[in-house]
Structure 1
Amino acid sequence: MMIDRIRREHGYMIRLLAILENKVANLKQGQSINYSLIKEIVDYLGDHSERVHHPKEDLLYHYYLAHYGEQQEIENLELEHQELSIKTHAFLDVVEMILKDAVVPRDLFLNQLEDFLSAQRKHLQLEERKVLPLICQQFTVEDWQTVESQYSASEDDPVFGETIAEQYIQLAQRVRIADDEVS
């Protein structure tokens, strides 16, 4: 069901944000970090969100507004998705500059990384704590069937799916290491 896929994807995002939070701790302790891994995470979060995740959510939100009336938090989500995309691409540009040997002060990068993490977490919390419970409370079986029938994009996740995309091999390996550390 679509809601299960959305929540599973949120779980993937939370796992990736935890890796980035670990990078923040490393930076604060003066340790070096793997910027190419950060690039893969931010690239994945931007690309997968824009191509697969947010269109799925936007479909839900539009359907909700059309059938259940105005709800301010839901009305703002499509705009928030757009703003999150802009922030993600701006931060990705900074990471790519570093990978091309541009000098970016550590404090500046750390602040941008923390801002990126904060925006991502805030958005996920809004959806998980307020928006999705509201939709689940209102939607009928018929509503779910209708939105499911309107969504037809490919669901093969390039990091967490069965086939790992070449540009995310390092990231997929890091995710598996993190999973093993938690187990």
Structure 2
Amino acid sequence: MEITMLARLNNDHKHIAILLNILKVKYSRLEVGEAVNYNLIRDIVEYMQSYAEHSHHPLEDIIDSYYMAKYSPEARDEKLAKEHQKLTEFSASLMANLNLILSDVVVSREQLIIDLKSYVAEQEEHMVYENSTIFPLWSKMTDEEDWKNIQQECSLKLIDDPLFNDDDNVLFEELREYINSDDTD
């Protein structure tokens, strides 16, 4: 059970890294004055909002709360939950700007570049923190009963990844096609 939950979270991180790399390409192109597909950028942020913020991060919060309560109550720390909240605010702000752009409202290219760079940097720093500090702590929980309890608590937040799965879901179809192609726009 533990292996499954942590493997899922690690797999999510790999998928998120793919999307962050696409955003890096997009803001690099913006920096040199090239055109980019703003719909694709919005789809990435929308994916982060719909999946990472509503399933991935809540799962992490549940596991962290369980771990802290049972194994480290004296060191109770809300850092992870605070980072998740900060990332939610970042993506909401970025999404608002992208929606303005897609509605033909003028938004400073320079500001969008700064926002995209900050967003990517925050997401990457957050994943490094989780991969190097948080996940190794959780992997020390070896009691199968703990993981069954966590699984039960997580069941309400567990959703299938709407982008990186094998079903015929049309949500994020353009983004899925982009990832699977050699398209450079």
TM norm structure 1: 0.90
1:156 matched to 2:160? The reply is yes
**Structure 1 residues 48-95: Cα deviation after superposition (integer angstroms, max 9, x where no partner):** 1222111111110010111111446x5211121111101111101001
What one-letter code is carried by the residue in structure 2 that aligns with 1:172? R
Structure 2 contact 163–171 (Cα < 8 Å) conserved: no
Compare the two structures and name the one with the higher helix fraction: 1
Report the counterpart of residue 45 of structure 2 in structure 1: 42
Query: What's 1:172 paired with?
Result: 176
The residue type paired with residue 41 of structure 2 is I
Deviation at 1:29, TM superposition (A): 2.2
Between the aligned partners of 2:142 and 2:32, the Cα distance in structure 1 is 47
Residue identity (%) = 31
- The alignment yields a C-alpha RMSD, in angstroms, of 1.9
In the alignment, does 2:126 pair up with 1:108?
no
Moved over 4 A (4+): none
For the 8 Å contact 1:46–1:85, the answer to whether it is kept is yes
Deviations 1:117-160 (A, max 9, x none): 11111111110111111211244333223212322144321111
Consecutive unaligned residues of structure 2, counting only runs of 5 or more, are: none
Q: Distance in 1 between matches of 2:159 and 2:110?
A: 38
Distance of 1:109 and 1:26 partners within structure 2: 12
The number of aligned residues is 179
User: How many angstroms apart in 1 are the aligned matches of 2:128 and 2:146?
Assistant: 24
Hey, what does 1:19 align to over in structure 2? 22
For normalisation by structure 2, the TM-score amounts to: 0.89
- For 1:6 and 1:93, the matched residues in 2 are separated by 27
Q: Which of residues 136, 142, 147 in structure 1 aligns to 2:145?
A: 142
